[in-house]
Amino acid sequence: MRHTKPLNDKARRLTGLAEQGKLDEVRLMQTVPAGCAATFDPGWEVDPFGGVASLCQPMEADLYGCSDPCWWPAQVPDTMNTYPDWNKGSDSAQRDWRRLAEVFPKK
């Protein structure tokens, strides 16, 4: 851990518990269930084999298949209900992905 620096809460927790010898209490996503029906699979980071070769090709091709039917609501803005205009006017993900903005919950 001397040469790495935690960047998010999970990593900070990992670092802290590692020093206390409680590493087993931190669950990291190390593998992915086979298949795609479990909505909380990461999906956008790694493929079912733990690599990237079997992600959608190209990766942005998968954007609207996920946002419009609300398939991956944790990973892609949900245009069905919550962010209906997220990809408005950007009808080709491959061509228009630079125009897509991040979204934040309204406070």
Partner 1 sequence: MMRVRSTSLASLLGAAVLTASAPAVAKDYLLAGLKPDKLVLVDPEARKVERTYTLQDGAPGPAMIIPSPDGRVAYVIVNRSEAISGIDLDSGKEVFRADLSKPPERVKAFAADISPDGKELFVYVSPVELASDEYKVGDTRIAVYRTSDGTAAKPVRVLPAPRRTSLIALSHDGSKLYALSWDVIILDPATGKVTGKHEMRHWGRAGYGEPDVIDAWPQWEFTGVLVSPYTVMRTDVAPTDPGASRTGLMSLDLASGDFSMENFEDTTKVIFSGVINPVRRDEAYLVYATLTKLDRKNHKVLKRIEVDHTYYAINISSDGREVYLGGTMNDIGVYSTDSLKRLAVIPLPGGADQGIVAPRMIRR
Which residues contribute to the site for partner 1 (CB under 8 A)? 31, 33-38, 47-49, 54, 56-58, 61-62, 64-65, 67-69, 71, 79-81, 84, 87-88, 91-95
Q: Is 77 exposed, middle or buried (0-12, 13-18, 19+ CB in 10 A)?
A: buried
Active-site residue flag, 24: no
Looking at beta carbons only, is 9 or 91 nearer to partner 1? Answer: 91
Contact 47, 32 (CB under 8 A): yes
Looking at 62, 78, 85, 96, which residue is catalytic? 62
Cα separations in angstroms, 7 against 10, 33, 40, 62, 102: 8, 26, 22, 27, 20
Report in angstroms how near the CB of residue 47 gets to partner 1 at its nearest.
Answer: 7
* Residue 80 Rama label (left phi>0; alpha psi -120 to 50; beta): alpha
Report in angstroms how near the CB of residue 85 gets to partner 1 at its nearest.
Answer: 9
Looking at beta carbons only, is 16 or 58 nearer to partner 1? Answer: 58
Active site amino acids? 62
